[in-house]
Amino acid sequence: MGREAVAAVAAWASDAFNPDCFEYPAAEENVASRRIAEGLGGSIVETRSNSKYTSVVYRIPNSRR
């Protein structure tokens, strides 16, 4: 259900704002969240660390372009 929700928001934002892509950060160990990004064509472009966890940042292309 998470993938459908993220896909719906991306579709809405694509129509409303037409960005080149979307940024999707996910905790490095959150496999389910990472699969959502990967399932929408996302690729890792950055890694970020803070005091709580390390995250990977995906770039998801605008499917409407």
Q: Tens digit of pLDDT for each residue in 22-62?
A: 999 999 999 999 999 999 999 999 999 999 999 999 999 99
Residue 25 has what pLDDT?
97
Residue 36 has what pLDDT?
98
Q: 38-47 long-range contacts, Cβ below 8 Å, gap at least 24?
A: 39/3, 40/3, 40/6, 40/7, 40/10
pLDDT at 63 over 90: no
> Taking a C-beta distance cutoff of 8 angstroms, is the pair 43, 5 a contact?
no
Token code pair at residue 36: 């959502």
Residue 64 has what pLDDT?
86
Residues 57 and 49: their CA atoms lie apart, in Å, by: 11
Query: What average pLDDT does the segment 4-28 reach?
Result: 96
Amino acid found at 60? I
Helix then strand count (H, E) for the chain reads 2, 3
Note the pTM of the prediction, 2 decimals.
Answer: 0.91
